[in-house]
Structures are given as structure tokens and as C-alpha cells.
Structure 1
């Protein structure tokens, strides 16, 4: 089997590490059904910024990697397409994770070569490109159209949402809604510690808001929270904003300086995944202000730690949250209204709600659902190929 995605694996001294969630555990899903798995994706060389992210836990060791260096440009466009074609031809089963240019091309050749294929839909290409840049706004309509066309006839599709992505990119084939989030088993003690933390909140002490996301990606929306913190604190509140995430933070620092909250905005940089939960346990409220998401892992992880959470009306975020705690994309005023009205009673109620909702993402339950669907795909593909 071959898996296509635009993920960027970090190359350090010839060893490869995931820069996100595509780790050995995820690839084991495919190894359960296919004897050998190759991953077709991107490669970038390790920088100082990656130092915190590279450890034995995220080294990729159980699959073959067929990687393209991220410096590949339009001059290599035809070469890349030929490489995708060859990769499809050399494998019996095709899985693509979208949005992905490689995925669109791979499906095209899979259909021509009569290969059975499965598509995983983890995000909306329209939102991703439209909110990225001016260049992205030019690309967005094409990626939206190609993705819809690619999904339409897909024989098998897995969506990370229950409604949002299915409505934008429907398929006529077999499909399920199954989050890609993998949570450790939720312990009752986690909620008890959260409740204790809330009960110890003191008037006059800062309430800490948190977001886990890359700080150099504008569509993650942290700038709107910074502006909201400035407005709220001028009105007499006391909020701090702690941001966990890698990337160049100069733009967000400039926003904090412009709005007079440099001392209230803390940049923690990229955190190893095992440290993210410690960070979440230290904040009081989690916010997902993104303009583009599928079903955000970071939000689900925050909810699993009992974090009272609010978020934008984007992607699958409204499927997770109390509808009273959802705001329109980029609306500073709405963020201010929601945060300003969150008293201790509401924070406590939302902490309990978050923890209960996160139980739906129990790794064992989702694993069984996903495993059953991949069994159907694997057995169906074998029958067809035979």
C-alpha cells in the first residue's frame, strides 16, 4: 500500500521524524491490513527550531518513505507528476489524505490503472488556501473544484468530521465520519484536578487563555485573540494569552506591541507532544480562533484536559463546542463578549462539558470504527484486484 500526503518529514542525519501527527502509531492502522506501507510526502532538513520536536517518540521507523524535498518548484512539476504516477503503478492499494496535490494526482492515476483507492479528508482546501495569502485565493477555487471532483466518485472515504466536510465534498461511495485525533485514555482524576484549579481562581489574578497552533500561519487567527485581550484588559479584566506553537512569531509580537499587551502575551514556542498536556493543564480557557480547520486535534486535546473551550465558526469546530461559545471568524468583539461573560460558574460547567465531549474521541472506540472500515476497503480491493 502507498499513502499520499503533503506532510513534511524532518530529516536529521538520515533519520526521519514527523513534524506533526503522522507517526508510527498512525501508520500501524495501515500495517494491520497491508504487509508493507510506503509514504509519499515531503522532506525538509532539520533546523534549530526543530530541536524541541525531534526525539525518539516521533521518529518514523515502521514504513518506507518516498519523499520530495520541499524546495521542489514549478520547474520540477512534470518530474513530480511522473514520480506520483510511478508510485501508483508500483503499488496495489492507494490511500490519499486530502487536501493534497499529490493526492489529487494519485487518484487520477489510480482510476486509470484500475487501482482501488481510499481518500481521507482531514481539512477543507477552500478554507486552507483562501485564508492563506493572495496567491492562495487564486488557487482556492481550483483546489475546491478538484477536491470535490476527486471525492465524488471515490469508492471509499473517511472524513474527520461528522457533517462539515461531508457537505462540502460529498462522495457517492462508502464513507464514515471518524476523527483522526488519538487521545490517551481519559482519567477521572484529570477532571477533578481541573475543577480544583477552577475553584482556586482568585479575583484579580490573571485568567490564562491558550491556543496550540503554528504562530506563523495567519489563518490560525491568534491575532484576533491578542486584540481581544487588549480590549478586555482596558475594560478592567485581567487576561493573559499563552501561545504554544512553532514558527516565526514576529508578526504576532508586533500585534501585541501595537495593542499594548506585550506583557500579557507569552510565546512558548514549539512543544514536544508529551509537554502539550502539561501546558493545557496550566491554562484556564482554551480558544481555537482559526479561519481554517477540519476537526482540530488541538481543541479536542484541550477538551480532554477539561479546558473550558470556545472557537470560531470554522470547519468541524461547531461540532465540538457549546453553540453559545462559537464566534464568527475574525470577530474581536464577539471574542470579547464571550470571554468577558465567562464567570467561574460557567467555566466550571464548560470544563465538565468539555471532558464529557472528549470521551467521544476515545482511541479504542475510534480505532474499532476505523479498523472495520479499512477491513472493508482492504478486502474489497483484494477481491477487485483478483
Structure 2
């Protein structure tokens, strides 16, 4: 099988690492279904920012990597097309993860070669590009059209949402909604600890809001929370905002300074994954203010720690949350009103709801659902 995606693998001294969700745990699934797996994606050299994240846990060791240097990618467009075509020709099973330029090309060649393929849809290209930059706004309509075309006649499609992505990029083929979020087993006592934390909140102490997301990506929306914290604290409330995530934080720092909350906004940097849950246990409320998402892993992880949660009306976020705690993306006033509603009684109720919802992302349940679907794809290709 060959897997196409625009993921950037990090090259450090000839070894490859992932800073994202495409890790050995995910590839182990594909190895179970297909035996031998090649990943067609991008590579980049390690930077200082990667240094503390790169360790043995995110080294990619058990798949073949067919990588394109991101600097070469745009310069040698024809070479890339030829390489994708050859890769499709040399493999029996084609799996693409969208949004992805490589995925669009791979599906095009798979159709010409009459090869069965499966499409995984993990995000909305329209939202991703439109909210990225001016250049992104130019690209967004084309990616939307090509992604819809790619999905329309796909014989097999896996969506990470249950409704949102299916409505934007429908398929006439077989499909399932199955999140790619892999949670560790929900720890016994987690909810009880959260309830105890809420009950012990002292008057006068700040309520800590948290978001886990890159701080150099504007469409993650942290600026709106910073503005909301400023407005609320001017009214006499006491909120802090703790941001976990890598990237250049200068823009968000400038927003905090402009709105007079430099002492209330804390940048924790990129956290190793084993430290993320410790961070989540220390915050009081989790917020996902994104302007584009598929089904956000960070929000599901927060809910698995019993965090009372709220988020924007973007992507699959509303599928996870209480409808009373969803705000229009970018709506600072709505964020303020929802945070005001989060009194002790409401936090207790939402903590229980979050933890219960997170149980739907039990690894064994999702693996079984996914395995049955992929088995159908594999068996179908074998009979062709």
C-alpha cells in the first residue's frame, strides 16, 4: 500500500521523525491491513524548535518513506507529478489523506490506471486555505473544487467527522465517520479529580482557560480569547489564559500587550505529548476557538480529562460540545458571555458531559470500526 499526504517529516541526521499525528502507532494499523506500507509525503530539516520534541517516541521506523524536499516541491512541479504517477503504478493499494495536493494527483492517476483507492478526509481545505493567508484565499476555491471531485466518485471514504465533512465533500461510494483521535485508556478517577478541583476553586484565584494549538497559525483563533480575557477582567472577573503549542508567539504577545493582559496570558511552548495531560489537569476550562478544524484532537483530549469545554462553530467542533457552549468563530462578545456562564454548577455539569463524550473515542471501539471498513477495501481489491 502507498499512503499519500502533505505531512512534513523531520530529517535529523538521516533519521526521520514526526511532530504530528502520523506516528508509528497510526502506521501500525496500516501494516496490519496491508503488510507493507510506503508513505509519500514531504521532508524538512530539523530546526532548533524541533529539538526538544524529537525523541525515540516519534521516530518513524517501520514504514518505507518516499519523501519530497519541500523546497524542491514547487520548483519541480512536473517532476513531482511524474513521481506520484510512478508511485501509484508500483502499488496495489492506494490510500490518500485529504486535504492534500499529492492525494488529488494520486487519485487522478489511480482512476486512469483503474486502481481502487480509499480517501481519508481529516480536514476542510476551504477553511484551511481561506483562513491561512491572502495566497491561501486564492488557492481555497481550487482545493475545494478538486477535493469535492476527488471524493464524489471515491469507492471508499473515511471521514473524521460524523456530519460536517460529509456534507461539504460527499461521496457516492461506501463511507464511515470514524475519528482518527487515539486516546489512551480513560484513567479511573480522572473525573473524580476534576470534580474535586472544581469544588476546591478558591474565590479570588484566577480561572485558568487553556488551548492546545500552534501559536503561529492565525486560524487557531487564540487572539479572540485574549481579547475576551481583557474584556472580562476589565469587568472585574479574574481569568488567565494558558497557551500550549509551538511556533513564533510574537503576534499573540503583541495582542496581549495591546489589550493590557500581558500578565494574564502565558505561553508554555510546545509540550511533549506525555506532558499535555498534566497541563490539561491544571487548567479550569478548555476552549477551541479555531476558524478551521476537522475533528480537533486537542479538544477530545481535553474532554477526556473532564475539562469543561467550549468552542467555535467550525468544522467538527459542534459535534463534540454542548450546543449551549458553541460560539461563532471570531465572536469575542459570545466568548465572554459563555465564560460568564461557567459558574461552579455549570462547570461540574460540563465536566461530566465532557468525560462521558470522550468515551466515544475509546481506542478499541474505533479500531474495530475502522478495521472492518478497511478489510472491505482490501478484500475488494483482491478480487479485482
TM range (shorter): over 0.9
1:251 matched to which residue of 2?
A: 251
Tell me, yes or no, if the aligned pair for 2:2 and 2:94 is still in contact at 8 Å: yes
2:314 matched to which residue of 1?
A: 314
Tell me, yes or no, if the aligned pair for 2:73 and 2:80 is still in contact at 8 Å: no
In the alignment, the residues of structure 1 paired with residue 84 and residue 47 of structure 2 have an alpha-carbon distance, to the nearest angstrom, of: 28
Give 1:53 deviation, angstroms. 1.2
In the alignment, the residues of structure 2 paired with residue 288 and residue 376 of structure 1 have an alpha-carbon distance, to the nearest angstrom, of: 35
In the alignment, the residues of structure 2 paired with residue 51 and residue 265 of structure 1 have an alpha-carbon distance, to the nearest angstrom, of: 25
In the alignment, the residues of structure 2 paired with residue 69 and residue 270 of structure 1 have an alpha-carbon distance, to the nearest angstrom, of: 24
SS at match of 2:189: helix
Unaligned stretches of 5+ residues in structure 1 = none
- CA offsets per residue over residues 318-349 of structure 1, 9 Å max, x none? 00000000000100000000001210110111
1:267 matched to which residue of 2?
A: 267
Give 1:64 deviation, angstroms. 0.5
- CA offsets per residue over residues 158-191 of structure 1, 9 Å max, x none? 0000000000000000000000000011123111
Structure 1 range deviating more: 171-180 or 78-87: 78-87
Give 1:266 deviation, angstroms. 0.5
SS at match of 1:71: helix
Structure 1 range deviating more: 154-163 or 188-197: 188-197
1:281 matched to which residue of 2?
A: 281
1:372 matched to which residue of 2?
A: 372
- TM-score normalised by L of structure 1: 0.99
Give 1:73 deviation, angstroms. 4.6
- TM-score normalised by L of structure 2: 0.99
SS at match of 1:266: strand
1:293 matched to which residue of 2?
A: 293
The number of residue pairs the alignment matches comes to 384
1:50 matched to which residue of 2?
A: 50
Correspondences of 1:6-25 after superposition (within 5 Å): 6-25=6-25
Correspondences of 1:2-151 after superposition (within 5 Å): 2-151=2-151
- CA offsets per residue over residues 247-287 of structure 1, 9 Å max, x none? 11100000000001011100011111111111101110000
Tell me, yes or no, if the aligned pair for 2:41 and 2:66 is still in contact at 8 Å: yes
In the alignment, the residues of structure 2 paired with residue 308 and residue 343 of structure 1 have an alpha-carbon distance, to the nearest angstrom, of: 11
Tell me, yes or no, if the aligned pair for 2:185 and 2:362 is still in contact at 8 Å: yes
In the alignment, the residues of structure 2 paired with residue 167 and residue 18 of structure 1 have an alpha-carbon distance, to the nearest angstrom, of: 31
- CA offsets per residue over residues 116-164 of structure 1, 9 Å max, x none? 1000000000000111111111111100000000000000000000000
SS at match of 2:179: coil
Tell me, yes or no, if the aligned pair for 2:40 and 2:65 is still in contact at 8 Å: yes
1:354 matched to which residue of 2?
A: 354
In the alignment, the residues of structure 2 paired with residue 196 and residue 74 of structure 1 have an alpha-carbon distance, to the nearest angstrom, of: 54
In the alignment, the residues of structure 2 paired with residue 70 and residue 227 of structure 1 have an alpha-carbon distance, to the nearest angstrom, of: 35
The runs of at least 4 consecutive aligned structure 1 residues that moved more than 3 Å come to: none
In the alignment, the residues of structure 2 paired with residue 274 and residue 52 of structure 1 have an alpha-carbon distance, to the nearest angstrom, of: 13
In the alignment, the residues of structure 1 paired with residue 52 and residue 337 of structure 2 have an alpha-carbon distance, to the nearest angstrom, of: 36
SS at match of 2:17: strand
In the alignment, the residues of structure 1 paired with residue 43 and residue 19 of structure 2 have an alpha-carbon distance, to the nearest angstrom, of: 10
